[in-house]
């Protein structure tokens, strides 16, 4: 187990999720709930499942596609989204 990888992924996901629509959905669910612990458990299960799907899908892609091509494709898509965002489309 690579502890530095765990820390890098934690920091990346923590800051990526901070203040996004998922957090706002959890906040509003908690505000309208009489059981914040239930909301917490539901959110943890949902986020864990989506993370598991991401890991499984990423592992499968890693076996089917050269990781270098996957990184290149992701980088190109990131740049395209950035240009579209700047252009206001």
* Domain extents in the chain: 3-87
Using CA atoms, how far apart are residues 89 and 84, in angstroms rounded to an integer? Answer: 5
Q: How far is CA 78 from CA 36, 54, 71, 73, in A?
A: 36, 18, 10, 9
Residue 39: closest CA among 24, 51, 27: 27
Q: Which ranges of 1-89 would DSSP assign to H, the alpha helix? A: 3-17, 21-31, 36-64, 67-87
Using CA atoms, how far apart are residues 64 and 54, in angstroms rounded to an integer? Answer: 15
**Res 49: pLDDT:** 96
Using CA atoms, how far apart are residues 21 and 11, in angstroms rounded to an integer? Answer: 18
Please determine, for residue 89, whether its predicted confidence score (pLDDT) is greater than 80.
no
Query: Mind listing the pLDDT tens digit for each residue in 54-87?
Result: 999 988 988 898 888 888 988 999 899 989 989 8
Instruction: Quote the mean pLDDT of the chain.
Output: 89
> How sure is the predictor about 23, in pLDDT bands with cuts at 50, 70 and 90?
confident
């Amino acid at each position: 187990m690579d502890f530095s990888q765990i820390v890098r992924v934690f920091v990346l996901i923590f800051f990526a999720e901070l203040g996004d629509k998922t957090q706002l959905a959890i906040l509003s669910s908690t505000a309208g709930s009489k059981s914040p612990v239930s909301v917490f458990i539901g959110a943890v299960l949902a986020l864990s499942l989506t993370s598991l799907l991401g890991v499984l899908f990423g592992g499968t892609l890693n076996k089917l596609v050269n990781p270098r091509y996957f990184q290149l494709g992701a980088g190109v898509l990131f740049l395209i989204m950035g240009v579209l965002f700047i252009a206001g489309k």
